[in-house]
Amino acid sequence: MADRFIGTSWKMNLTSTQAAEYCGRLLPLVEDVTDRRLFVLPPFTAIWAVRQKLAGTQIAWGAQHVHPEESGAHTGDVSAPMLADLGCSYVEVGHSERRRDYGETDALVTAQVAAIQRHGMTAMVCVGERERAEIGPVMEGIGRQLSALSGADRSRLIVAYEPVWAIGAGARAADPEWIGWVHQAIEAWFRSSRAGSEADVPIIYGGSVDGASAPAILAQPGVSGLFVGRSALDPEEFARIAHLNPVSAGR
């Protein structure tokens, strides 16, 4: 599990007051976790509160979105230098909900990743298929999404595989074996792409992860960690997942 990533995006949940309370509850529960990288991505309004609680600890923090420009007349948006000034380590881009609700494109993701990396942060890029299909068609679509990363600095890049059909209330995590296939296919895409550096890119899984599904997912080849959604809104559950070790689904 060394250098595995276990993180969460809170989406549009938790006020700054609630975020501070959450971190206060979480910290003593994970103080013994030193062999994996923990992170939380709060809403913009709560980043300052999370920084106050987590500064100097083993838990990193970040943001769920960024505008590609440095500054300017972009009402309601937040830039990479603003996030870097708040001590963010990671910035999530390309999530299917952003693509669905705001029409965000692969071209935008390319610009966002460049802005994030210019300011020393790691871009966490979400990819995934909308509907269940065979591995060939799925990887054709994911390959198009990955092409947006051709010029990125791989040492400051994480890919989050999040099948859209596995996201949301009532959904279930993808089958662990399927997750392993896709993660290995993504690894193969990076090996075959000559653009960018030769650094390995961590590939984490997100999509209805919980304490029951996590061990078998972590046991799959190519899985570098977990990106937990609604289960992690409970700090006790997030701490439990942070402590889990890989276990084969057949055991």
Residues recognised as catalytic: 95, 162
User: In whole angstroms, what is the distance from residue 78 CA to residue 70 CA?
Assistant: 9
Q: Is the dihedral of CA 104, 107, 108, 113 positive or negative?
A: positive
Which helix (H) or strand (E) is 39 found in, with range? Answer: strand 36-41
Burial 75-111 (b: 16+ CB within 10 A, else e): eeebbbebbbebbbbbbbbbbbbbbeeeebebebbbb
Residue with tokens 């509160």: 49
User: In whole angstroms, what is the distance from residue 18 CA to residue 49 CA?
Assistant: 9
**What is the separation, in whole angstroms, between the first and last Cα of the chain?**
18
Please name which of 156, 157, 158, 241 lies closest in space to residue 204, comparing C-alpha atoms: 158
